[in-house]
Amino acid sequence: MDTSVNTFFVSEKISKIRWLPGDLQANERFLTGTWDMPANFVRLWRLQQNQYADDYNEFVPRCSDKQDFNGDITGLEFVDTDLAAVSCADGRLTILQVNRAVDEDSLEEKAQSEILHKFNASGDSAPCTGISVYERDIATVGEDGYLNVVDANDVHKVRRSIEADSIALTAVKYVNPHEVLTANRMGVIRMFDIRAAVDETAVTAFMTSCEEEKRSNYVSALTSHPTQPHIVLAGSEEGSITVWDLRQPGFPASYLSAHNSAITEIGFHHREPSKLYTASEGGELWLWMQQSTMNITTMENKTSENVNPWLNGERAKNRINVTCLISNLRKSINTFDASGSKIICGSDSEAIYVIDSVY
């Protein structure tokens, strides 16, 4: 695989990074969110041709606008092509509008919610730890253990609020319009039906695997397969990946050892579901690519060739190739996003990495 990595130091720790939808051909515009800085921002960037072209950087990102926030950016997802939902450690949700232009793009705050997450004992705001978007619906989770659902058209009104857990929640993921997964610091994942009903009991619950049975292994990241959403993958504190089939959630379908440190983000390529990416606190970015069934020769594999390889248990290791795209950064890669043949990453090294020609 012939890839090139371009590095751009931006003097900010990047917690979230996302390509703008609709730029699938040009791959020009993206948003970043910061954390652990004296002042935190969401910035709008645009890749431009490097007029001082050298052997390392064919293009450079230029910041065209920014919006300031009162805390760390903990979630960043697009509702539509130009509307982004941003969660913050101050417990609020903000909707940003991207105004595209030929010369100078801009950001505009469309709406900001009241504090969505609060600690019951003190009444103080609790950090919102993650968001997930399904069409116009936005699900948020926080350190207060609550799952909230709001409409992007009116973030001031909470459509559904569920006390999902008694401890801090670490991740959230829509699997269909009516069901949302939440994960906590004990490694427990719960699924809730968010349709208007009184019952707040989880539909089902299951737990991440761990190499050490007596040790907790908290869920650090969640994702689902883009074309088979019943396949759910969880990245963990120990760096492993646990896979479930929600049609039979009683036990994991697969468990794979991966990084030597916590997985910070996990996600499939939006248009190429055979590709999965994982980033870790150890400064690594890996590509997991499904092998072609044309290479399958044994009778055992022929009988299961139509089964998604992520559900093949121990055999999954033989049907998925792993490639290290970035390693040895010494500081965490917190976030990434893939579009076309390009991947962008943000890290605690206060840099943005653009990887090109990933096929």
Q: What is the pLDDT of residues 152-164, one digit of tens each?
A: 999 999 999 999 9
pLDDT band at 24 (very low <50, low <70, confident <90, very high): low
Quickly state the pLDDT bin for 217 (edges 50, 70, 90): confident
Tokens of 13: 């720790």
Dihedral of CA atoms 187, 213, 209, 193 in degrees, nearest 10, equals: -40
Let me know if 302 is exposed, middle or buried by CB neighbors in 10 A (0-12, 13-18, 19+). exposed
For the ranges 44-48, 186-190, 295-299, 330-334, which has the lowest average pLDDT? 295-299
Q: According to the model, what pLDDT value does residue 313 have? A: 75
Q: How is the chain split among helix, strand and coil, in percent rounded to 5?
A: 5, 50, 45
Which residue is associated with the tokens 């709406």? Answer: 111
- Strands in 154-163's sheet, in edge-to-edge order, are 128-134, 137-142, 146-151, 154-163
Residue 196 is predicted with a pLDDT of: 62
The mean per-residue pLDDT over the stretch 260-267 comes to 97
Q: Is residue 94 helix, strand or coil?
A: strand
Distance separating the N- and C-terminal Cα atoms of the chain: 7
- Residues linked to residue 65 through DSSP beta bridges, in sequence order: 44
Q: Give residue-wise pLDDT tens across range 290-344.
A: 886 444 444 444 445 568 899 987 777 788 999 999 998 989 999 999 998 899 9
pLDDT of residue 151: 97
pLDDT in tens, 219-238: 999 999 999 999 999 999 99
Task: Report d(CA 216, CA 108) in Å as an integer.
Answer: 42
pTM for the whole structure = 0.92
CA 347 from centre of chain: 14
As a CATH number, domain 75-337 is 2.130.10.10
Kindly tell me if the per-residue pLDDT of 345 is higher than 50.
yes
CA dihedral 350→84→178→201, nearest 10 degrees, is 50
C-alpha pair distances (Å), 263 with each of 158, 168, 213: 31, 18, 19
